[in-house]
Amino acid sequence: MSASKLEWLGEFMRSGITRMEQIDHGMRVVSASKSAFVPAPGVFVSWCFAPEGLGLPSVESAYAQALRNCHPAMRGCEKWYHPAVYHATAAAGFHSLSLLSRELGLASFEKHYLIQCRRIWQGEQLSPVPLAEIAMEPKITPEVGKKALAELRAHRAGGAR
């Protein structure tokens, strides 16, 4: 076997590539790239573990969702594409992620998100997104508004005499 084939095979083994689907996804990325050169084995391996190969959102899309769900107004009503996005956000820090600059926040999130993707590629099941045991009751509900309007109308009707 040639030295280059041994190098590629060794990189696949060191990286934990275990499924043909991973190599197929890496090949799709190579085909889509406009470069006339073969990528380095390490670059190709990173493409093999890309989230899109699992049907997950891209790093950018997942990061945008993480930022939305970290906002205090979203507390209790977050929606997650996949547990990988949730776990990456938790690892990056729900509070700190939104405080970091875009460059630092994206770098931190990407690192944790790709770790979660690698775990899925290796056949590991991620724990589901935790659900709140007791839903927070909003302070403002239609009933509160109707009651306040009824009190105002009663006060106005009683005060008109």
Amino acid identity of 152? L
| 136-146 pLDDT, tens digit each | 666 777 888 89
Q: Would the pTM count as exceeding 0.85?
A: no
What are residue 119's phi and psi, to 5 degrees? -60, -40
- HEC per residue, 119-133: HHHCCCCCCCCCCCC
State yes or no: pLDDT of 160 exceeds 60: no
| 96-132 pLDDT, tens digit each | 898 999 999 999 999 999 999 989 988 899 999 887 6
- HEC per residue, 50-115: CHHHHCCCCHHHHHHHHHHHHCHHHCCCCCCCCHHHHHHHHHHCHHHHHHCCHHHHHHHHHHHHHH
Which residues lie closer than 8 Å to 115 by C-beta, 6 or more apart? 88, 91
Question: Is 54 within 8 Å of 117 (Cβ atoms)?
Answer: yes
pLDDT band at 134 (very low <50, low <70, confident <90, very high): low
